Amino acid sequence: MKGNRFATILFSSLVCSTLIGCSQNEEENTASEKLSVVTSFYPMYEFAQQVAGDRADVSLMVSAGEDAHHYEPSAQDVAAVNEAEVFVYSSEEMEHWVSSLLNTVENDDLVIARTADGVDFVDTSGSGHAHNHDQHGDEEKQEAAGTINIQGVADHYHTGNMIELTAELDAEVDYDHWHWYTRENADDEWVTVPNQGGPEFNYEASGESFEVRAVLFDENHNEYAESDSVEIVIDDHDHGHGQEEEEEHDEEHGQHHEHGSDGAIEIVGLADHYHTGDVVTLVAQLEEEVDYDHWHWYTRMSEDDEWEAVSGQGTDHFEYKTTGESFEVRAVLFDDDHNTYAESEPVSVIIDDHESHDPHIWLDPVLAQEQVNVIRDALIEADPDGQAIYEENAEAFNKELQALHEDFQAALEDAESRVFVVQHQAFGYLAQRYQLEQVAIGGLSTEVEPSPSRIAEIGKLVEEHNVPVIYYQQGANSAIAETVATETGTETAVLYDLEVLSEELQAEDLGYVDAMRQNLEALQLSIQ
């Protein structure tokens, strides 16, 4: 009996062990059968999680504290994408590194979800208005084109001549917010001319003919009137202006550098790259102390071009609003006898617009729904058996996003004050969606600090419109916003651009919708 009992126990143990082993294997197989999804940065991560639910393992590449724009994928990232079934990102305009990553990946079965597909990007090159005048449309102009006449145009000019024009309005108004724009031909975009904020236009001819026009804005920063464009003809008649004048200047000023030498001047303040509309602010630093203060700055488009003197740059500070093309710049210091004392080595100013598009589309709750739909379709393509789940999850999350959109609409639609000032130009889509005016202290680039003149201009706008708050992005250096706030007697507040999820939000288990609702509360400090 004892033997039979022992055999029964042994048999039962073997059966249990087998069943337990089978159960563990089934769990492991279930886990391994989950869809593998790699996402680029935070909004894509949350959107993918919301759609996938428990049916996928969703991972994130760019974590808190890292820059989604300039992220450099690691070998582990490449390996993860190689093994993934779906890769989700927003756009090359946002994640500049995606193209090189995908060129490295060897995964023919990878489903790639570019969630910006079908979205019309906001073009930030345009006329250079950081406060998005264009969104108001022509219906808000109070006067028709041609009510401003430009006076003082000569038959032609030579390189180096001063072009002095005056914009005269046919009617008497109290507005004095002027912008002047130039372009080389009708195929080019109009570009704002820096430091031309009144009805007078003073500009040194630099060798190329161009068109110019003037625009007057009302107290709400809507276009009140604009001129027809006029042509500025530069015709040097082979008289040797431009570079020859510079060469004569160099010869007269001692090209052989009796005092100094090449490289005695160092140019500081150069960013890794700039976007069109950014103001390049550089400083020329001499290695020794001298009493000379006669500076010239020169630019050229490439080594094959001639150096051209930049008008209005007569100090050791260089301030220039970019117009879309990369260029080289150098600084030269002259002594009291107008001989060249020292000069810098050329430095390259890189303009990298990534097609001049604002990439922050996820900050518009309506466009975010379109991104969710792109992710849904990608997951279905990779995992057709999960179609019903993905469609149900996407629909549920989009209802949350639609409710968020409707809350923004209800809270902001009747506000009289519609201007908000931000440190970083990240909220263009949100401004466009709810008919607000975003005034950006800086451009799209987080690396480029605004010039002193730009900060002064923003200060004037803040005072004119009684703006109570200067916003800065969560996680960003708030020094610039605090400087403007101090000078204008305003407060500072945080807006989430959600390029990463902050530690504070993570600690409270808050996500995209929660952060956007906090953005709405913060915006209502200005939009009233």
Residues 28 and 38 in one domain: no
Residue 128 covered by a domain: no
State the pLDDT confidence band at 133, using cuts at 50, 70 and 90: very low
Residue 393: give its domain's CATH number: 3.40.50.1980
Q: What is the DSSP string of 41-56?
A: SHHHHHHHHHHHGGGE
Quote the pLDDT of residue 516: 97
Residues in the chain: 528
- Domain that includes residue 425, residue range: 413-528
What is the three-class DSSP state of 269?
coil
Same domain, yes or no: 20 and 107: no
Contact 316, 283 (CB under 8 A): yes
* 199 plus 212 within the same structural domain: yes
Pair (28, 43) in one structural domain: no
Residue 222: partners with Cβ closer than 8 Å, 6 or more residues away: 133, 136, 140, 141, 142
For the stretch 250-254, contacts whose Cβ atoms lie closer than 8 Å and that sit 24 or more positions apart, written own/partner, are: 250/340, 252/338, 253/334, 253/338, 253/339, 253/340, 254/335, 254/337, 254/339, 254/340
pLDDT band at 437 (very low <50, low <70, confident <90, very high): very high
Q: What is the number of alpha carbons within 13 Å of residue 142 lying toward its C-beta?
A: 13
Q: Based on the domain organization, do 157 and 104 belong to the same domain?
A: no
Res 483: pLDDT? 86
Q: What is the DSSP letter of 449?
A: P
Into how many domains does the chain fold? 5
From 186, 211, 232, the end of a domain falls on 232
Same domain, 344 and 374: no
* % of the chain with per-residue pLDDT over 90: 44
The tens digit of pLDDT for each residue in 378-434 reads 999 999 999 999 999 999 999 999 999 999 999 999 999 999 999 888 999 999 999
Tell me the CATH number at 166.
Answer: 2.60.40.10
Q: Are residues 345 and 381 in the same domain?
A: no
Render pLDDT for 201-227 as a digit per residue (tens, 0 to 9): 988 887 789 999 998 877 666 778 889
Among residues 384, 412, 440, which one ends one of the domains?
412
Tokens of 147: 């009510």
Place of tokens 């605004």: 450
Q: Is residue 458 part of a domain?
A: yes
276 within 8 A of 358, measured Cβ to Cβ: no
Q: CA 116, CA 90: separation in Å to the nearest integer? A: 5
pLDDT band with cut points at 50, 70 and 90 for residue 356: low
Does residue 255 belong to any structural domain of this protein?
A: yes
Q: Does residue 526 share a domain with residue 417?
A: yes
> Is 238 within the bounds of a domain?
no
- How far is residue 295's CA from residue 285's CA, in Å, rounded to a whole number? 11
Considering the domain architecture, whether residues 499 and 419 belong to the same structural domain is answered as yes
Average pLDDT, the chain: 82
